[in-house]
Structure 1
């Protein structure tokens, strides 16, 4: 009887020891993907400090420091504004603010596209030695571009102070014979949620391009090759009024050059309120749709390939 009891007890211990432990979430799990984003936002002091240090290191030992960002933007905007206002026979008082604001927003988009593709590659050392979420490096890039955007707004403020009378007047036009604009008023505050939407999209762009570029190193080169084409196809130094004046109100492939360009809609939700342009709801709808689709793709990529980034870099 005692031997039988001992045998039964031993069998129960064997079964208990053989029972599998609860499985931990795998590397490819939504829980870990969302935890990465959540923990990255919590480490605000880390990514904000790294982003500011990037700006300081870039202009270390220079006399003007980060003000070179503002100066270079101002020179570029002034030169392009003077040139294209003469080419398109436009008044400098309305065309220069149009180009300046468009160029400021474009610079933010451009920075997130180009530097976003190199986000994890340039942070190779930190990724391999610092146990931090991947989203920290994404936020570092977006924050750095936001700081540069803030510096460039100094140029916008100076431009508004000089040409206030031209763009605050209801009915002004960007080009000769163009669509009358309502003029600058309190609706300029809509640029704040517009930029917030830009920054939100910058997050998924940096995250998605950053992960893909660590696996396929040709992606940053492809983006660099397309930048100039995207710049001239986006209404930054030219206005959609020019298309309507030359080809009429008939919708054809020429109008689609602007409307099918997502960068145009991103620029308009910030530029239009800043210079008192007519604001169309369809720009917000398109940007909102891109935001949802973009973050869905980025989260899928983060879920599936987050754990491989440290090996790819």
Structure 2
């Protein structure tokens, strides 16, 4: 035992980092090779998914199956219905989940995975479009595919090149490319993406302004021709108080903005006479605004970049529709540092 311990070569942190970087470089270079290898077979796959009236049924065994499950999540989240079918379970009854309107996406580096090849006759009998992501065109899977994406013969990472690593990374990248190109052609908008991701930080970031703003019924609005005193004394709104007063012209369009800070400055400079003058003389003209169709991410950017605390929301005609106060989105404003 002592002799064995003495024969073990210490694996320093330097060696660990060197090997890790080499593995990552190998996989990165493989992705570059795959990107250059893509041909019209990828376009055929895109057309198959776009024409699909049912769902994309993704299947793969082992590590490829795990990649397939991730691709199902990516497709679903970008507006394409997708489900994962375990090929081993498929031949024990789960083939019944496939509909004649579906498209099958099969992942197998060798193209000869037994569990995959066993379900190919069923796919053929149903005349289902079959997208294959595999190494080369010389395999059972590739021969039956109606849309073929070849990765090339990739060397797996690691000292022995045994564990699926480079190949599964390539499958993941190609699958992501397929899902995202399809979503672009389908016209996926940030608003639709937000609808599919209503929870968590991503959902809130993409949330629409109208779902976050204080509605106009809860915002102080006055005519820009009124005096400062009249504008403030006539305003009493329910809900959380905002430090902003939206001012409109004769047509009801936003004409300016006056805040509690503006009022404080008048008093600090002993300009009491201004209280009985038209508020348009002391208001902020053409204030920064955001459209109703904006996102919460847009709001945060404007508040932080412009260093403002209130942001009027306007409709397509420039009429005030609501207000975003910095306290409404305080958890999303960048921390100064």
Bigger fraction of residues in helix: 1
Bigger fraction of residues in strand: 2
Return the TM-score normalized by structure 2. Answer: 0.25
Return the TM-score normalized by structure 1. Answer: 0.26
Which structure has the larger Rg over C-alpha atoms? 2
